[in-house]
Structure 1
Amino acid sequence: MKALPLIVGFGGINAAGRVSMHHSYRRLVQDALDETRMAATWQDLSTLMGTTNRQAILDGTLIRRIEAASHFDPSAIPNQNKANLSNANGFNFELKRRQLPDPLPAGWTVVGESAGQVQIRVDGDMPVLVPGSFASKVSSAGSLPTGFDPSSYYNAAHHPRGLQLAVYGASDAIQSMGMDWSSVLERVRPDQVSVYAGSAYSQLDQAGLRGLYQSPMTGSRITSKMLPLSLPEMSADFVNSYIINSVGNTGTNVGACATFLYNLRQGMADIQSGQCRVAIVGNSEAPIVPEIIEGFRVMGALAEDDQLRQLDGSDIADNRRACRPFSANAGFTIAESSQFVVLMDDALALECGATVFGSVGEVFVNADANKKSISSPGVGNYVTMAKATALARAILGDAGLARTFVMAHGTGTPQNRVTESHIFNEVAKTFGIQHWPISAIKAYLGHSQAPAGGDSLTAALGVWAEGLIPGIKTIDHIADDVHRSNLDILMDHKAVGDQGEGMDGALINAKGFGGNNASALVLSPNKTLELLRQRHGQNALDGWQGRNEGIAAAQADYDRRTRENGLKVIYSFGQAVMDETDVSMNREQLTLSQFATPIDLPQHNPYLD
């Protein structure tokens, strides 16, 4: 049998707050939870945001107007405009000697010099760039909670924001397991760990590619970190080098907005095949920068303020309701997020006593084939959703399949509401599903690009903690062109049992530019434990339960400390560094000084034995 990938930890941060222990999920459904069930989440957000004011916490989370303090002022974005200065008598001006271009531009002549200043004569016209500003037509985004600064959690000098979020997210996920990482490494070989993490758009702020390309044109200097720290897989590199000290499998898959599920598939496949026993999977994206917003806007992809005003017949753009999946809408809302999950094979998880938050049944990835536009949807998502649903039926049976729900890609664009609803509806009809619950949490969080599937996955895990499937509270009707004869597109939170026992599984859907489609089947904790009982027997499960008591207590303690004092990020720069003197080997094994267990070297021809 294949190893079963169990979800034993998860963490990160998005517009709703810290992800671990279901805090960001609870912020989504807070209007349906009483004060007792929300108390820990309010405390966590208070610490995260540096305020005890409840209204400030509510106003400073989820989709809202872009805040100048953390990003930029959308009403005054700096830019430069080309101009051509003309004067019949030419131009005379002074420059500091060190500011003098070399070689001189055409028409420039140095006519004098004194005290480090040079006098310049320009004959003819002079092209210049004139500083100015413009108001963005898009002012909404799924920004991280107001007051949260990822660079304040560790020595993050000159790190792009996306990498800062990766350090925070991976640290949260690893500590959420309730066991020291060193104790995990004691049970596995050093090469039995996989890390798949990255970004879809690289690092795009001033410390990354934005600075790399803009600096020569703005008179600034390119630094030694801008290029290397912008590589798409750098999130995985940071996790390996500074957080878990790993020499295992590593990399990232990039599939536009389906990237998280692509990486989840890679980690899952490594565990199923025995290539690894633990996989850390995640993505981090920080795309709330003016150039990216403008790039998406000119594609017609984002909801502009004027369009929101028209939808509401109002003089004011409702930033809070910028994203309206499956309703009258205008475009998606960009967001930032960091999402990480920790997977273990089932045998190791039972041995460790790890908490079981669920399991990954499978992730299916299929392309769109020939299409008219690279950005338009195609047929691939029919394939992924049909496969995921068929597998859910094979594992859960027809009755169990009826007890599943869908976390839609649900971007809030007019095209998505038609195409994705048609996919879901046709699949539901084919498999005899009536009133299939459909949730779309981008209504609250916005579209974080690469981590978007992670936003959906961790929210789905919350359903099995509090028993509520998040409704789409930003809409007041379903659009007429939405297909829904067999769907229940939730406009309000749906209660499914105290701890979600009414749902046996969730299907996570993601669609990306270029024809990148992915659909994942995630099984509930209860169904996962049933599978473990069938695979390992009741005695093994009883032993696991006893060991889990200590793990659960450690998780509760981690959560309490983090709520009270903030997250203690793991970042071990320059510690336990190994070089050639730390490596020893023979023909059978290779040993590293920092690891007690050696790495076995291949001894047989796998294509003949």
Structure 2
Amino acid sequence: MSRLPVIVGFGGVNSAGRSSFHHGYRRLVIDALDSATAERTYRSLAALMGIKCGDGALSQEQRQYILDHTLIRRIEPGLFDVEKVAWNKKMSISGQEGELSFVTRARQLPDVIPDNWAVTDLGGGKVKVSIAEGCDILLPTHKHNDISSAGQLPTGFDPGACYPSRSHPKGLQMAIYGASDALRSMGIEWQTVMDTVRPDQIGVYASSAMAQLDENGFGGLLGARNDGRRVSSKNLALGLADMPGDFVSAYVLGNVGTTAPSLGACATFFYNLRLAINDIKSGHVRVAVVGVAEAGVEPRVMDGYGTMGALASDAELLKLDAAKGLTEPDYRRASRPFSSNCGFTIADSSQFIVLFDDALALELGAQVHGSVPEVFVNADGFKKSISGPGVGNYLTVAKALASAEAILGTQAIRQRSFVQAHGTSTPQNRVTESHILNEAAKLFGIEKWPVGAIKAYLGHSIGAASGDQLIASLGVWKTNILAGIATIDHIADDVHDSNLQLQAAHLQLDGDAMDLAILNSKGFGGNNASAAVLSPNISEKMLRGRHGKAVWQAYLEKREAAIAKAEAYDEAACAGQPDAIYHFDNNVMGGDDVSMNRDEIQLSSWQTRVELPKTSPYTSWLEE
């Protein structure tokens, strides 16, 4: 019998703050929250940002500072100075009389002296170099960045300060933080999980789409020669796109089970999620940690997307608001999905979830935040350009709706579902994705399908973007508020919306009004993915129906301890930023820690054992 993958923990960080306990989502809709709930999210952000409050209450000035220094905004100097981005200017120089000469230290001469150089020893370790025909040089300088807005992490938050980060790339620092937050949100000790399942029944499905491109990763590796520096021994290894998963396995979980990092451009989180839920449904694993950490707010990455014309530049944003006579862009409204727009806004994000199979969730008393029965992936077919859209996303959205209809029935699809759009804020996306969603709504008889587009608040975090969508959907069920597309003041004329509900205002929902979320991602290169996510209420009904009242009642009693422990973590995190989970050189196993026989393998750090296969589905194929 197939197992249901249940979300039992979630966490991370993006421009809205800490993801666990829905604080990040609540930042998006903080203007619609009751005062007590809003105050707790302010406290969560204050702890993350290092803001102290003397008498235990935040002042109005502090609250405004928190609002101003989260979500999409102008890139702040603490990240990098958009007015002085490092640059090398190429110059051709020659001497006034035709000969160029200069003095330098002998040890600074190149290993191979160019043919047109004449070198004269001046003594004292110095030489004179004469160049007959001049030369080209690279002059270190700086320039203004044409793109000044981004979904950067909350001001004052440094993920590397949460553990001994030892020159780790920013994306890996964010991965350690995100995975730690997700694990602690469960309210169940990780050791308890390890003691319950076999070592090979745990899987880590985590990666990044862009790899680690700052100076501590591939950025340093590829730039060292041009800058006259030596490559670090860590640059290549830590730059790999699979490193977020490798770090979580090695330093957070001590995982010896499955590792399956997957890449699919902007759909990368869903690619990882698809592998995880398929392994849980098949029984290959019982526990899956799924995530993506992406640190894209980096000048070189922004150069790449900016040169493609994909990012919203300052000049183009000013054109959008020409009638307002603005002298500088409205950075806050840089991302305007399904409205008049000019490009996406890049962002940083690290999002992780923990999945159990349904039986394990009940056995350990885990909280149920939702479930994911299906993720569908389809490519585009033959393409006109690698960045152009194709037909694959029509397939994934229709499959996701059809699979959910098979579980919930037609009425739930038509009246109790919403969609989280990819919603990048590019002119091409607003046309193509709106047509896909609108046609799917027509096909399934949805008259006005509520649409969320959270990139309006968070920006586009590339590989982590679909993780942002999943975490936001859990927030919708917790708050009963679907965040409006707050940065828009109209729907563009070329948007297809006859069967879509697109609006700037938040949509207030009745309790348990939504059974289903369809999450959609259109990745660069034709990496399309759509997920069907079931609400906590529906997920619990399914678990009760499968396992019976007696098992369910016993589960509820065990769950109280997990809830209490998880809430204690949240309280501590709202009071002051806790250290991330990081076990370096801890309980390292070697050959002496492995005991094997023909039936099983025992590892010294685990109570349970790895069972060796004894049967195969292909055995009968050899029979005559």
Verify same fold: TM over 0.5: yes
The range that moved more, 481-490 or 443-452, is 481-490
Residue aligning to 2:459: 446
Residue aligning to 1:425: 438
Residue aligning to 2:536: 525
Residue aligning to 1:171: 180
Q: What's the secondary structure of 2:225's corresponding residue? A: helix
Residue aligning to 2:405: 393
Residue aligning to 1:571: 582
Residue aligning to 1:76: 84
Matched, 1:374 2:367: no
CA apart distance, 1:133: 1.9
Tell me the amino acid that sits aligned with residue 532 of structure 2.
L
Q: Tell me the alpha carbon deviations over residues 313-360 of structure 1, each in whole angstroms, 9 at most, x when there is no partner.
A: 122200000000000100100001000000000000000000000000
Whether the aligned pair in 2 keeps the contact of 1:154 and 1:569 (CA below 8 Å) is yes
Distance 1:441 1:429 in 2: 23
Correspondences of 1:35-114 after superposition (within 5 Å): 35-51=35-51, 52=58, 53-70=62-79, 72-87=80-95, 88-114=97-123
Residue aligning to 2:251: 242
CA apart distance, 1:108: 1.8
Q: What's the secondary structure of 1:451's corresponding residue? A: helix
Whether the aligned pair in 1 keeps the contact of 2:260 and 2:275 (CA below 8 Å) is no
Correspondences of 1:487-566 after superposition (within 5 Å): 487-498=500-511, 501-566=512-577
Number of equivalences: 606
CA apart distance, 1:469: 0.5
Distance 2:290 2:41 in 1: 25
Matched, 1:285 2:294: yes
CA apart distance, 1:367: 0.5
CA apart distance, 1:89: 4.5
Whether the aligned pair in 2 keeps the contact of 1:562 and 1:568 (CA below 8 Å) is no
Distance 2:301 2:93 in 1: 31
Distance 1:21 1:423 in 2: 32
Tell me the amino acid that sits aligned with residue 26 of structure 1.
R
Q: Which one of the candidate residues 486, 491, 496 is aligned to 2:499? A: 486
Matched, 1:436 2:436: no
Q: What's the secondary structure of 2:329's corresponding residue? A: coil
Q: Which one of the candidate residues 121, 129, 136 is aligned to 2:145? A: 136
Distance 2:403 2:504 in 1: 28
Whether the aligned pair in 2 keeps the contact of 1:172 and 1:567 (CA below 8 Å) is no
The range that moved more, 279-288 or 36-45, is 36-45
Residue aligning to 2:488: 475
CA apart distance, 1:534: 1.5
Residue aligning to 2:54: none
Correspondences of 1:336-375 after superposition (within 5 Å): 336-375=348-387
Distance 1:590 1:490 in 2: 57
Whether the aligned pair in 1 keeps the contact of 2:345 and 2:459 (CA below 8 Å) is yes
Q: Tell me the alpha carbon deviations over residues 392-441 of structure 1, each in whole angstroms, 9 at most, x when there is no partner.
A: 11111112112010000000001111111111111111110111000100
Structure 2 spans left out of the alignment, 5+ residues: 52-57
Tell me the amino acid that sits aligned with residue 110 of structure 1.
V
Residue aligning to 2:55: none
| Identity value in percent | 53
Whether the aligned pair in 1 keeps the contact of 2:336 and 2:488 (CA below 8 Å) is yes
Q: Which one of the candidate residues 125, 130, 155 is aligned to 2:134? A: 125
Whether the aligned pair in 2 keeps the contact of 1:211 and 1:222 (CA below 8 Å) is yes
CA apart distance, 1:504: 0.3
Distance 2:119 2:373 in 1: 73
Q: What's the secondary structure of 2:226's corresponding residue? A: helix
Distance 1:428 1:605 in 2: 44
CA apart distance, 1:484: 0.9
Distance 1:389 1:238 in 2: 35
Structure 1 runs of 4+ aligned residues shifted over 3 Å read none
Distance 1:524 1:40 in 2: 24
Whether the aligned pair in 1 keeps the contact of 2:12 and 2:179 (CA below 8 Å) is yes
Matched, 1:465 2:474: no
Whether the aligned pair in 2 keeps the contact of 1:17 and 1:144 (CA below 8 Å) is yes
> With structure 2 as the length reference, what TM-score do the two structures score?
0.96
Distance 1:539 1:113 in 2: 93
Structure 1 spans left out of the alignment, 5+ residues: none
Whether the aligned pair in 2 keeps the contact of 1:361 and 1:521 (CA below 8 Å) is yes
Matched, 1:227 2:236: yes
Distance 1:357 1:92 in 2: 71
Tell me the amino acid that sits aligned with residue 169 of structure 1.
G
Q: What's the secondary structure of 2:409's corresponding residue? A: helix
Q: What's the secondary structure of 1:567's corresponding residue? A: coil
Correspondences of 1:17-32 after superposition (within 5 Å): 17-32=17-32
Whether the aligned pair in 1 keeps the contact of 2:74 and 2:150 (CA below 8 Å) is yes
Q: What's the secondary structure of 1:191's corresponding residue? A: helix
Residue aligning to 1:180: 189
> With structure 1 as the length reference, what TM-score do the two structures score?
0.98
CA apart distance, 1:485: 0.9
